[in-house]
Amino acid sequence: MQSPVRFHSATTFEEVVDALDELGSEARLIAGGTDVMIQLARGELSPQVLLHIERVPGLGTVAAGEGGLHLGALVTHAMVRSDPATCALAALADAARQVGGWQTQAIGTVVGNIVNASPAADLTPGLLVHDAMVHLSRRGSERTLPLDQFVKGRRETAREPQELVTGITIAPTPEHSGEAFVKVGRRKAMEVSIVAVATRLVVDPSTGTIADARVAVGAVSPIPHRAPASEQLLIGQRPTADLFAAAGRAALEGADPIDDVRASRRYRLAVLPRAVAQALSRSSDHVDAARSVA
């Protein structure tokens, strides 16, 4: 069973980009390994080298900076839950809290989650809501892509084999906003999402109407995506249960779920509008809560 793969634990950034430059797709990057190790055991991967990056310094921090909040490539789900800057962002923190169990969250990285590009990657909807940008580096050059251009398909990204993702930046959160993450699974813990939804609402305090709306859905199509029909319906309106229900139904546009062992296509389509409506209602509550504190 054991494939004769070489394991290289890198200790510097240069070592990683040099090795990627030399080996290209023969190298498989491994951070927490919670996806890679299972795919290896199942024979879905057969790299020559496992290029381990957990020891590379400088990639493990959450830092506020120019253009927003930067999450380094080694930021784990556990850190997203506990860091004061990210735990305030429910669309991310509540997603991180529901990735597998503690053992998964302790070492599984946010960047690994997006690069693995599962249709059910739980962090992707929240990152889409926050206009996440993905930073890639290779020897001698770097580039940045919006997350919605980075994820290309099921297990497919725009990353070149020579590139390391160094981190993600999320845009500053507007004032008067509230956000939420809703995951539908068969039980509360250790579940792959049947449907995942992240939403964010900005409510204009002077008019009480929705100034900006973000709805992103996962596990209902090969790529987690924003739901523009829902968003357009919400903007300019007053937040009400009826409006949220209508926006939920509008999210069916663009949804093309599969039947699998976890749920049928029919169930996913039935539950999606309700999950969206629930996420919107929680987002709206969070706007109100933030206002009453202020």
Partner 1 sequence: MTSNSVTFSLNGVDRTVDVPGAETLLDTLRDRLNLRGSKEGCLEGECGACTVLVDDRPIDACIYPTAACGGRRVRTVEGLSDGGVPSLLQRAMVRSGSIQCGFCTPGFVVAVTALLERESNPSRADIADAVNGNICRCTGYAQIIEAVQAVVADSLAAGTGQEVEA
Closer to ligand FAD by Cβ: residue 104 or 221: 104
Q: 61 touches which of ligand FAD, partner 1, none (CB within 5 to 8 A by kind)? A: none
Q: Is 185 among the residues that bind partner 1 (CB under 8 A)?
A: no
Burial of residue 156, with CB atoms counted within 10 A of its CB: 0-12 exposed, 13-18 middle, 19 or more buried: exposed
- Is residue 30 near partner 1 by the rule CB under 8 A? yes
Binding range to partner 1, per CB under 8 A, among 94-102, 124-132, 148-156, 157-165: 94-102
The DSSP secondary-structure symbol of 24 reads: G
What backbone phi and psi angles, to 5 degrees, belong to 111?
-65, -40
152: amino acid identity, one letter = K
DSSP state of 199: E
Q: How far does Cα 37 stand from its chain's mean position? A: 20
User: Distance between alpha carbon 282 and the CA centroid of its chain, in Å?
Assistant: 19
| 22 is a site residue for partner 1 (CB under 8 A) | no
CB of 1 to ligand FAD, least distance (A): 18
CA dist 60 and 83 (Å) reads 12
Cβ proximity to ligand FAD, 75 vs 210, nearer residue: 75
Nearest to 271, CA basis, from 235, 230, 227, 217: 217
Query: Minimum distance from CB of 92 to ligand FAD (Å)?
Result: 12
Rounded Cα gap, residues 44 and 33, in angstroms: 14
Pick the binder of partner 1 from 15, 54, 212, 285 (CB under 8 A): 54
What residue ranges bind ligand FAD (CB under 6 A)? Answer: 28-36, 38, 53, 73, 99-100, 104, 108-109, 111-113, 115-116, 120-122, 159, 164-165, 192
What residue ranges bind partner 1 (CB under 8 A)? Answer: 2-7, 9, 30, 33-34, 37-38, 40-41, 49-50, 52, 54, 78, 97, 100-104, 106-107, 188-190
